[in-house]
Amino acid sequence: MSCDKPYGVTSVNNLCAELLARSLDQGCEEPRVAALLMTMRPVRFVHEVDINPKVLAALRKALQMSLGDCPFPTQTQRLSLGCPVLNSWLKGGLPTLGVIEIAGESASGKTQICLQLSLSVQYPPAYGGLGAGVVYVCTEDAFPARRLHQLISSQPQVRVDVPSDVITTIPFGNQVYVEHVADVDSLWRCITHRLPLLIARRSVRLVVIDSVAALFRCEFSCSMAARKAKLLQNFGNLLHQISHKHNSPIVCVNQVTCRMDDIGGGPTSICLASQRIIPSLGTAWSNMLLMRLLASREEVKAILDTEHNPQCAVEHSNCTFTLQTQRTLEVLFAPHLPHSLCHYVIKAEGVYGVRESDNTDIARV
C-alpha cells in the first residue's frame, strides 16, 4: 500500500471489507494479514508493509468492528427541519455531527431553510430539536430579523406536533446569536474565539454560516488558488473539531456556478439542477463536508383544469397552464442517504416539503 495520498473512512472500510472477504477463502494468505492487524504493534507493521500509522489504526478499528469485537458507532439523534415531509425524506433530519452544506442559486431558499433550522434547534430533543440556541454568521447581507420574527409568530400554527405550552416557554428570539463578518480574518476570529465560548456554556448547539463562498470568492483570485485551498482545508478541519467536540451540527451556505460541459442539454430537456450548476469552492472544500444539499429554483408550467379534463394531464393538450415557481432540494452526497430530491415551497409560515403525489400536474417549460 502507498501512503502518498490520505485515506478516508470509506477507503478504510473498503480495505477492511476486502480483507475480510478474502480471509474467508482458505487458499489465501489474508488471514495471516488479519492476524497481524489484530496483534502486531503499529510501528512493526508499518516497517513490514509500509503503511501509514494513522491508516493502520483506523483499519484495525474497522476490522474489530467487522469481527464484532467492538460495536459500530451510531448516531441516532437528528436535527429536525421543522417539516414532516422534509424530515421523512432525510430519514429524520440533519445529522448532529459534521459539516453540512446547503448550496444553491440566488433566491432558491437557502436562507429560509437556515432560519427554520435556527428555530427547530431550540425545541426539546423529544420534538426534533437540541434544546439550545444558534450562532448565525452573516457574510453577505444583513440578518433577516423581520423574517425571523414572522417565522417565530407562526410556530404555534406550524408545529402542531408540539404542545402549545412547550412552544410558549421557548425564548426563540433570545437564543439566536447573530454575527456579521466582512472578511476571512473576521470569520476566523469568530470561529476560534467567540463560538467555542458560547458552545462551552451549552447555550448553542447549531452554527450557521451564510455564506462561506462570499468571503473566499471575493478575497482570492485565480492565481491564489493554492492558498485558498489550504485555508479552506484549515477552516473545514476547525469546524469538524468544534462539531465533534460539542456534538453540534455546522451548516454552511454555499453559492453555485454554471457547468460548462453541457450535460443538461437544451433548455427543454428534463435534467436535475446538479446537471446544470455545481457548488462553488472546488474539491478542497467539498472534501471537508459530511453532507451536501443543493437547492434550486425554476419556472414551470402547472396544469389548471385537470379536474374537468383528466386526460389533459397525460397528453398536455387543450389544457390551461400557468407559470409557477418550483423549488427542489437535492441530496448530492451523504453517508446515510442515496442521491434523491424533494420539492418544497416557501410560505409566510415557513418551508414545507411537497409530497410526490401533490406534484403530478407540473411540466417544465
Task: Report residue 275: phi and psi, to 5°.
Answer: -90, -10
DSSP three-state, residue 331: strand
Q: Which stretch of DSSP H or E encloses residue 18? A: helix 9-23
Q: What is d(CA 231, CA 237) in angstroms, rounded to the nearest whole number? A: 10
Residue 177 bridge partners (DSSP): 135
Instruction: Compute the half-sphere exposure of residue 212: CA atoms within 13 Å on the CB side of its CA.
Output: 31
Residue segments in the chain with a per-residue pLDDT below the cut of 50: 1-10, 12, 23-31, 40-48, 72, 264-270, 311, 313-314, 363-365
200, three cell numbers:
462551552
Give residue 347's Cα distance to chain centre. Answer: 22
Cα separation values, 160 from 86, 155, 167, Å: 16, 8, 10
Residue 6 pLDDT? 42
Q: What is d(CA 62, CA 68) in angstroms, rounded to the nearest whole number? A: 10
Non-local CB neighbours of 282 within 8 Å, separated by 6+ positions: 225, 229
Q: What is d(CA 243, CA 204) in angstroms, rounded to the nearest whole number? A: 11
- Cα-based torsion angle of the residue sequence 187, 188, 193, 197 in order, rounded to the nearest 10 degrees: 60
Q: What is d(CA 101, CA 334) in angstroms, rounded to the nearest whole number? A: 10
Asked whether 57 and 63 are in contact (CB, 8 A), the reply is no
108, three cell numbers:
432558491
- Cα-based torsion angle of the residue sequence 301, 365, 361, 308 in order, rounded to the nearest 10 degrees: 60
Residue 65 pLDDT? 58
Number of C-beta neighbours around residue 99 at 10 A: 24
Residue 46 pLDDT? 43
Residue 165 pLDDT? 95
Residue 188 pLDDT? 93
Residue 261 pLDDT? 66
Residue of 294, 339, 304, 266 whose CA lies nearest to 109: 294
Residue 322 pLDDT? 75
Residue 68 pLDDT? 58
